[in-house]
Amino acid sequence: MTDLRTALRDFPQAVGIVTATGPDGPVGVTVSSFTSASLRPPLIVVWIGEGASAWPVLRTAPLFAVHLLHAGQTALSDLFAKTGSDRFGPDTNWQSDVDGVPHLLDAPVRLRCRTARRISVGDHVALVGEPLEIQHNAGTPPLVRFQGRYTSVA
């Protein structure tokens, strides 16, 4: 596993945050495994660890949002990656949509998705989403992880 992790650190990955809402309120988690899956029909995939604090809600949530972050959002990424943090506290610029899905208002890309499938693979689940709404503010360099550190693509 160490060899696999080391090898994959040399492959840049987009940094995003997945959010949803459950009976106890909003949840969210930082992810670095995101990809488009299909254009017809339009589908995306994010990989969620089964041990993630947001997984119990994402396991049954009919809707979720994926927020791809810009280069200046490392602190937001860290906040949603840290266990026990107040992810939706006063320092987070967010609001719920009409269905209660939390939206991070400063993310340059937001995909509001209907859950299409959940596919368990090892210790992760491929959360497949059908984008229902896409917000895209072009021109902002994305936040990526490369060799275990945050960086950007210019």
Residue 11 has what pLDDT? 83
Residue 9 has what pLDDT? 81
Quick: pLDDT tens for 117-151: 999 999 999 999 999 999 999 888 999 999 989 98
CA distance 60 to 111: 18
- Tell me, what DSSP letter sits at residue 98? T
Cα radius of gyration (the chain): 15
- The gap between the terminal CA atoms of the chain, to the nearest Å, is 31
pTM, two decimal places: 0.94
CATH number at residue 56: 2.30.110.10
The count of structural domains within the chain is 1
Q: Which residues in 10-40 are b (16+ Cβ under 10 Å) and which e?
A: eeeebbbbbbbbeeeebbbbbbbebeeeeee
Mean pLDDT of all residues in 87-109? 96
